[in-house]
Structure 1
Amino acid sequence: MIKLWDTAKGFYKKEVGNGYNTSFWYDNWFTKGVLVEILGPRGVIDMGISNEATVAEAVLGVRRRKRHRTELLNAIESEMVAVKEKLWENVEDITPKYAFITWLAMLDRLTTMDRVARWNSGVDVTCALCKNAAESRSHLFFECSYSSQIWEHLMLGILRGSYTTNWNAIVALLKQSDRDKKRSFCLRYGFQTIIYVI
């Protein structure tokens, strides 16, 4: 078996997935093979990517794309761009807990005080954040003065003219498919993050 390792490893290919479990240098994710074997130790310096970096860290990290003198290094840079686009498409899988809480909010199943009052009639339903109104899903997201400040701070630049704090209007914006991909991602991810944090 050990004698066949060199032959067998040519057939082994690592799927990138979300990129966080795939080593940039030591896994076979690149079309031409394992990068450390192709480029040697000098590759770390030429590419400017840490020896311990994952594919996600290398591709999504703050790093300027370089133009190299060799075709091989330029081919790696090109494949990194393709992987980056694929990771952006699948980035919603990175935080499933945000998606779960958002799903509960969309179904109006979060334990807001108006729902708690249905089970226990002696409960104070006043919003714990602003102390001004009864706490419901619509109030908490984003009619409450506290949560509306967070929403405005994160989303005003993304939504621009269509900015609103009304729950139903926000849900309608999320369902629109005519936005560009990155803006749509930022809106959805920001929405999920804010709901999770509040």
Structure 2
Amino acid sequence: MWKKLLKLRPLARQLSRKVINSGSGTSFWFDCWSQAGRLIELTGERWPMDLGIPINSSVESAIQLYRAKRHRAPVLQLIDKEVMRLRNKGLNNQEDLSLWRRENGDFKEDFSTAQTWNTIRTQAPKVPWFKGVWFSGATPRLSFMVWIAIHDRLATDDRISRWNPQAIVHCWLCQGHFENRDHLFFECGYSKEVWCELVKNLAGSRRIYEWLSVTREVVRGLRGKMETFLYRYCFQLAVSAIWRERNVRRVGESMLRQQLVSQPAWIGW
């Protein structure tokens, strides 16, 4: 994980910027304080020696050590202008400021995870089912499970059999059907009873248990705000509980009856 984070350093450099005050807390070569960007990317490893500014210098020490020269290389001329601009402006005793890029391209002092995520991610139109997955008050782990299920990316036996022909493909709950997502939620006799028992006071006389019908109902919602929230939350709890029970049976552990699985205390109400 740490190695993966280190690989994101080039991306992080594009999102940060330094404002010079004292210059003591900013690297002259590696931090983005200049309008030209990170100076080491312009010069490479050789030019710092020609300028007489050590590679580990802060902006403060670089301003103090630098002696103006007539450079021929355009890159060195640019750096000379940046150094002289700061020297003429003067440094102060305040700490340097770290700025972070926002979604609109501006840089602000406070770091926002949401703004940073929106800056680096690929934007896409909202899918029609998002209200049934990412709603206010939802439990993240349950929403994530439903999100995987909606994309049909759970490791059901029909998917496992594509790369492992010897895999058992029957339903681990009812033992009588080819296991796939739509059967597991909630056409299987076991899972159907769990689902219908869980939402019977919300759904009334309706007994909707096919996957597409249930997801449409979850997205559309019920008659009231509270009823809609409870229905969506029950849907996510049911998916999580049934998937857990299915995995428990798959590895040979003890099984639970439908009535126990549908109890709020067991499924994490």
> What is the TM-score normalised by the length of structure 2?
0.39
* 1:120 matched to 2:164: yes
1:61-85 deviation per Cα after TM superposition (whole angstroms, max 9, x unaligned): xxxxxxxxxxxxxxxxxxxxxxxxx
2:198 corresponds to: 154
Larger Rg: 2
Q: Give yes or no for contact 1:155–1:163 (8 Å, CA) kept in 2.
A: no
Post-superposition shift, 1:100?
A: 0.2
Q: RMSD over aligned Cα, in angstroms? A: 1.5
1:160 and 1:115 map into 2 onto residues whose CA distance is: 35
1:169 corresponds to: 213
Post-superposition shift, 1:197?
A: 1.1
* 1:135 matched to 2:195: no
Paired residue total: 108
2:226 corresponds to: 182
Q: Identify if the C-alpha distance between structure 1 residues 123 and 187 changes in structure 2 by more than 3 Å, giving closer, same or farther.
A: same
1:5-51 deviation per Cα after TM superposition (whole angstroms, max 9, x unaligned): xxxxxxxxxxxxxxxxxxxxxxxxxxxxxxxxxxxxxxxxxxxxxxx
Post-superposition shift, 1:183?
A: 0.8
1:158-187 deviation per Cα after TM superposition (whole angstroms, max 9, x unaligned): 112332111111011012156311111011
User: How is 1:19-38 mapped onto 2 (pairs within 5 angstroms)?
Assistant: none
> What is the TM-score normalised by the length of structure 1?
0.52
1:91 corresponds to: 137
2:152 to 104, 108, 122: 108
Q: Which has the higher helix share?
A: 1
Structure 1 stretches of at least 4 aligned residues deviating more than 2 Å after TM superposition = none
For residue 118 of structure 1, give the secondary structure of its aligned residue in structure 2: coil
Unaligned runs of 5+ in 1: 1-88
Q: Which has the higher strand share?
A: 2
2:145 and 2:174 map into 1 onto residues whose CA distance is: 21
